[in-house]
Amino acid sequence: MKFVLASNSPRRKKILSQFGLEPIITPHKFNEESIDKNLLPEEYCQLISRGKLHSVISDWESYPVISADTIVVIDNIILEKPIDKDDALRMLNCLSGKEHLVITAVNFCYKNKDIKFSFTEKTFVKFNILDQEEILYYVNKYNPYDKSGSYGIQDFSAVFVESIKGCFFNVMGLPLSTLFQYFKKFDLVNFPLDIGG
């Protein structure tokens, strides 16, 4: 049985496909700007993830549906996707030489089996001190405008990272190991790997 990924992120699909899971991709219809940015980062992230799921669940009641949202947090300030080049440069300069937090909130609903769960995952990432030339090259070459915090750890910006504490896949946008533990808990996976029972 297939499952639905309520996401516009090609990275989340790639993470799942690496482990033999091929979701049905459906873009969410949730207005992320409707959430108050003054909330605590974890709550803010979870509300967006939940909103994404609820925006598509009525179209897929016979399927398991997963949604996720990832944010970057530094000094209690949420860094979302940059709005333009200057914003991307500003974010990367802000992260340079410092440790930041990556939070991903995940929501799951399978109405036919009355299964619901949600969780958040946190990963700490420390950047090296970045040269302006490195930052400019990255922004010009990789156009990180669809990435929270203006970087994707799976591409060239991996060289920015001095250390990481926690789940690598969480920084990419989907904490795969924790998600898999929930799948096992609710008897949603079989081997060869399949989801949905």
Domain that holds residue 84: 4-195
155 part of the active site: no
What is the distance between the alpha carbons of residues 191 and 137, in angstroms, rounded to a whole number? 44
Say which CATH number the domain at 13 has: 3.90.950.10
Cis amide leading into 192 (omega within 30) = yes
pLDDT of residue 194: 66
- Annotated catalytic residue within 59, 69, 75, 87: 69
Say how far apart CA 176 and CA 141 lie, in whole Å: 28
- Cα separation, 50 vs 9, in Å, equals 16
Q: Which of these, 88, 70, 76, lies nearest to 151 by C-alpha position?
A: 88
Reading the block at residue 44, the tokens are 């803010």
Look at the chain and report how many structural domains it folds into: 1
Print pLDDT tens along the chain (197 aa).
588 999 878 889 888 888 778 889 999 999 888 888 889 999 999 999 999 999 999 999 899 999 999 999 999 999 989 999 999 999 999 999 999 999 999 999 999 899 999 999 999 999 999 999 999 999 999 999 999 999 999 999 999 999 999 999 999 999 999 999 999 999 887 766 666 65
Q: 155-185 burial by CB neighbour count: b if 16+ within 10 A, else e?
A: eebeebeeebeebbbbbbbbbbebbbebbee
> pLDDT at position 21, please?
81
Output the pLDDT for position 1.
56
pLDDT of residue 192: 62
